[in-house]
Structure formats: C-alpha cells, structure tokens
A and B are shown apart, each in its own frame.
Chain A
Amino acid sequence: MKKRWAKRHIAEAIFRLIAHVSFVLVAGSLAVILWTIISKGFPAINWTMLTQAPKGGYYLGKEGGILNAILGSLYMAAGGTLLAFIIGLPIALYLETYLRNSPWARYVRLTLDVLWGIPSIVYGAFGFIFMLAIGMRASLLGGIIALTLLELPILTRAMDEVIRMLPRDLEQAALALGSTRLEVALRVVTRQMLPGIVTAILLAFGRGIGDAASVLFTAGYTDRIPTSLFRPAASLPLAIYFQLSMPYPEVQQRAYAAALILTVIVLITSLGSRWISSRLSKNVIQ
C-alpha cells in the first residue's frame, strides 16, 4: 500500500516537473526570439535608418535607411484596417442585432471562419490575378486591398464575438423604449462594444502590418517613399525578406533594423490594445 502511494506520488512529481519545464520552454522561447531581434537590430538603428530611403540601386545601395518600408507598411496596414473596419463593423452588427442565430447568420459566420483560415499567400495570389484581370499593377492600392481581404474576417469575427458577449438586457430595454434596430445597433451596441472594437482593430492592424505573403505581388517593392496610391510601395516584412539574404553587411543591417522596428510596432499594438481596452471598459455595463 505504502509502496504504491510512493510510486504514484513520484510519478506526480515527475509529471509536474515536465509540465513546468515545458512552460518555461514556451515562455523562454519568446525571450530568446526577442533577444535575437533586439541584439541584432538595436546596433543597426540610427537616425539615418529611420529618416531616409535607401540610396543607389535596387535595394542594394549601401547608403540610406528604411523610411520607404516604414511608411509603406504604415500606409498599407492603416488603409487595409480602415477599409476592413468599414465593411466589417456593419456585418458584425447585422449578424448580432438583426439576425441573431438565423441560418444565414450561421452561414456568414462559417464563411468568415473559412476566410480566416485561408493562408495569406493565397490572398496574395488571388489579389494578383484579380489585379491582372482589371489591368492594375502592383501598387500601394493593391497592397491595401490585399490586406483588407486578409483582415476582414479577423476584424469581423473578433467584433462579432465581442457583441455576443454583451448582455441582451440593454438592447431589449432600448427596443422596448421604441428604438429602431438601427438605433440600438449604433447607439447601444456600438458604444458598449467600444473596448472590443479597439482590441479587434489593433489585432487586425498587427496581423496586417506583419504580413509579407499577401503584399508580395500586390504592392511590389521599391526604394522610393510611397507618394501615390498607384505606385508600388515597400513594406517592412518585405524589406526584411529581400535584404536579409543580401551579401552586403550594410544591406543586412537594414533588414535587422526593419525586423526590430516591425517587432516593436507589433508589440506596441498588442500591449496597447490591452491597455486601451481596460481604460475604455469603464463605461461598459457588465
């Protein structure tokens, strides 16, 4: 009896240790990755890097910085998020305040889940064929459209989940007072879900700005600072990808700097969404 007791408690202790180690492993991998990016990227960052576009040939010039990619990425991710939000918010509101659990709502939700699962390279390829079909060239606008497609399901589903969590009482009270559904959607639901909206927007923005495969063919790449919607635009992920494999150390430095800047932007959006949503949620009735 005693022996069996001892055995199972030893097994317990061993298992506990293994579980603990894998937790440390997972948490540690974040530290290792961040350390690699920071230790390589930090020395590469300076004023020139942040304020100038690359000089000389096709991203092979040794002078200059990555301002083209920083601006291009910000423009594309902001544009894509804005468009996806404009389309996505009404869909989310419609699904919840008008449709609830009707078959059509379930169908739309399933489609959004399917779209969410489509890899970004397929969005990129699709965007490219689509642009060919209507005679468009790789441009900032193309990148924005590709990111809109990529972010639309993320944004819509995230907002949809937020609305589902809201208490029904408020909506019903507003309806009972004689509001139309539209008024309920715009004045009650939207206000209550504000923290969730901000989180969803930042989540989608983070996904968009970090995605390389979807803008690879649709936005192209250029050393110039983007000035027009119809010209190709650089982006941080592609700046990293193209410049990392170059044999010149000066060019590689730009890749390291771009990786650090991209990571910082993404971490700020991820942490910022937490902070903002906790600040904003004080107006929400639980």
Chain B
Amino acid sequence: MIQSKSLSARESQSERLSLAVRLRSDKFARWVFIILSIIPVVLALLIFGMLVFKSLPIMKVNSIWQLLTGQVWKPEEGLFGFWPFITGTIWVTLTALLIAVPPSLLTAIYLSEYAGRSLRTGMKPLLDLLAAIPSVVYGVWGTLAIVPFIQNKLGPFVRQHLPNIPILNSDNPTGFGILAGAIVLAIMITPFIIAILFEIMNNLPKGLKDASLALGTTKLQTIRWVVFPQALPGIIAAIGLGASRALGETMAVLMVVGNVARVPHSLLDAAYPLPALIANNYGEMMSIPLYDAALMTAALILLVIILLFNVTSTMALQSVLGKKGA
C-alpha cells in the first residue's frame, strides 16, 4: 500500500516536469558525464607526465643507462645507481611467484575440476577475505612469524647443513630478507591469482572436456591434455597480473625485506625493492640535491615495468575470456 502511494507520488512529480525541462536536464547531464569521464584519462596522463617532468633533472646529469645499471647509491655524494633496487625488486618478485604459482594453479584446478559445489561457493568469500586483508597486516604477520622463523630456524640450519649452496649462502644474520619478503608477497598474491585462474577454468568450453572424459581418460589426463593447453594463455596472463601486483606492493615487503641497498646474491640476503626505496626516503629527500628527482625516477621505472605487465596481461586475459562469447 505504502509502496504504491509513493510510486504515484513520484509519477505525479515527473508529470509536472515539462518535456523541455526533461530534455534540457538530459542534455546538461550529458555534459557533466562527459567532463567527469575525462577525469580518469587526465589523471593517468597527469601522473605519468608529472613523474617524467620531475625525474628530468637527474636525467640531464646522468644518462638513463648510467642510472639503471649504476651499482652505488650514495645520494649525499650525488651517486644514484638503481641497479641494487632493480635487482632487489626482481629477486623478491620472482621468488614470490615461484612460491605462489604452483599452489595457486593446483588449487584452481582442484576447485574447478574436483571440488564439490559447496566448497566452490564457499571458496569465493574466503578468497575475497584473503584479498581484503590490508598489506600492512600481512607485514605484521611476516614480522612476527616468518622473520623469526628464518632467523632462528632456517638460517642456522642452512649455515650448518647446506653451506655450499650459493643461492642460500648469506652473511645476513637477521631473518629480514628476500625470502621473508617473498613468502609474505606470495601469500598476498595467491588469492588474487587463484580468483583469476578459477574464472578462466570455469570459462573453458565444456564440450572438449566432456569428449575427452567420454573417451575414458582419467581426470588428470584430461587436465593435462585438454584443460591445460586451452587455459595456458590465461594462466600466463594471470601470472603476469600477479607479478604486477607483487612488483608494486610496498608496505608488507618494506616491513620484512631488510632494506639494504646492495645487489643481492642469495635468498637470505637483504634487499631493497623500488617501492620500499620510495616509501623510506621520501621524508628526507628535500635536503639533498637531485634526491627528489632520483626518487621520482624510481617511481617512474616502477610504473613503467608494472604497466608493461599489467596492460599486456589484461589485454591477453580479455581476449581469452572474450573468446567464449564468440
């Protein structure tokens, strides 16, 4: 009763507006919409333009090649080499992907091929929850759980029993380092990767899978020879998106990675990824000449790498997911 009353009230209100008013407001709204929809484009250009503009002063002094491959970072002496930070970023991101991708892939396969309906519907909220936990909280967990574990258990164990493996050989006595950062990062990007993989696997045409199973293959054989080849482009795109997430992650990594500006050589070494560099030094950048330009260059390098990963993966993913409709 109440509903119908309010409905009729609304109707009479709209009848009172003349056609001219309605058309004029439609036209006006259109302009407002157009102007608002320019905002994201302007914002993107502004961010990019401002970073380039702000990093120009240092590029006038040093060549880009010098900056990218320079090994020494001593802002007080005017030495701005990004190589330790770039390698640090690569080490942490690659290790995180190596840890995160296999379980993500298996979990996605398990969910889409083996798991029952209730588990599948229950998994979505769980993944959302994991993805919603702020990175700082992951950082706290890393500091409280992972770093002490590496410092007190893994580090001594490696030094005692595996002293000759170069990738584990380190003089870093603390647990803060690449491995800690990578573990925390891996757990952060896992739900993200699983969610994408799960969507891809669910979008595969059912016909081929059914045909293969009808021929008497086991599920594993179908997964290996039918599902996997079809999903492969999507899987690569999902890994690319995971990588772009991992590359830009700041706080969680910053809290556990050690932050030493040296080219790392081992999983247990400390590293200093680009986002951590920006976050840690922004406060004091004003006191040293070219420091702010150097940090903006770091932000620009980071942005370019991430966008490369992000845009290509997004486009690949759209073409993979779009195919189904055609």
A residues whose Cβ falls under 8 Å from a Cβ of B: 8-9, 11-12, 15-16, 18-20, 22-23, 25-27, 29-30, 32-33, 36-37, 40, 87, 90-91, 93-95, 98, 104, 107-108, 110-115, 117-126, 128-130, 149, 152-153, 156, 180-183, 185, 203, 206-207, 209-213, 216-217, 237, 240-241, 244, 255-256, 259, 262-263, 266-267, 269-271, 274
When the two chains form their complex, are residues B134 and A212 in contact, meaning their CB atoms are under 8 A apart? yes
Closest Cβ of chain A to B127, distance in Å, is 8
- Chain B residues contacting A120 (CB-CB under 8 Å) are 248, 250
When the two chains form their complex, are residues A210 and B302 in contact, meaning their CB atoms are under 8 A apart? no
| B1 interfacial by beta-carbon distance below 8 Å | no
The answer, among B22, B37, B40, B114, for a CB contact under 8 Å with A16, is B114
Alpha-carbon gap, A30 to B310, bound state (A): 26
- Chain A residues contacting B137 (CB-CB under 8 Å) are 33, 37, 210, 240, 259, 262-263, 266
Given contacts A33-B133, A33-B137, A36-B140, 16 further A-B contacts (CB under 8 A): A18-B106, A23-B111, A29-B187, A32-B145, A94-B33, A110-B311, A118-B307, A126-B46, A126-B299, A129-B50, A182-B22, A183-B26, A203-B132, A211-B134, A212-B134, A241-B139
When the two chains form their complex, are residues B138 and A33 in contact, meaning their CB atoms are under 8 A apart? yes
- Chain B residues contacting A256 (CB-CB under 8 Å) are 140
Interface of A is mostly: helix
Do A259 and B249 form a contact, CB below 8 Å, given A26-B190, A108-B41?
A: no
- Chain B residues contacting A108 (CB-CB under 8 Å) are 37, 40-41
Count of chain B residues with a beta carbon within 8 Å of a chain A beta carbon: 81
Closest Cβ of chain A to B243, distance in Å, is 11
Alpha-carbon gap, A122 to B310, bound state (A): 15
When the two chains form their complex, are residues B218 and A9 in contact, meaning their CB atoms are under 8 A apart? yes
The answer, among A12, A149, A180, A216, for a CB contact under 8 Å with B218, is A12
B residues whose Cβ falls under 8 Å from a Cβ of A: 14, 22-23, 25-26, 29-30, 32-34, 36-37, 39-41, 43-44, 46-47, 50-51, 54, 102-104, 106-107, 109-111, 114-115, 125-126, 128-130, 132-141, 143-145, 187, 190-191, 194, 218-221, 223, 244, 247-251, 255, 275, 278-279, 282-283, 295-296, 299, 302-303, 306-307, 310-311, 314
Alpha-carbon gap, A126 to B45, bound state (A): 12
The answer, among B114, B134, B219, B299, for a CB contact under 8 Å with A121, is B299
Closest Cβ of chain A to B4, distance in Å, is 15
The answer, among A11, A87, A107, A213, for a CB contact under 8 Å with B36, is A87
Return the chain A residue nearest B247 by Cβ: A119
- A sample of 11 cross-chain residue pairs with beta-carbon separation below 8 angstroms, ordered by A number, consists of A8-B220, A9-B218, A19-B106, A20-B114, A26-B130, A121-B275, A125-B51, A129-B50, A206-B132, A212-B136, A244-B140
Do A107 and B134 form a contact, CB below 8 Å, given A33-B187, A244-B255, A270-B128?
A: no
- Chain A residues contacting B37 (CB-CB under 8 Å) are 90-91, 94-95, 104, 108
Closest Cβ of chain B to A108, distance in Å, is 5
When the two chains form their complex, are residues A152 and B251 in contact, meaning their CB atoms are under 8 A apart? no
Closest Cβ of chain A to B310, distance in Å, is 4
When the two chains form their complex, are residues A118 and B306 in contact, meaning their CB atoms are under 8 A apart? yes
The answer, among B23, B103, B111, B136, for a CB contact under 8 Å with A237, is B136
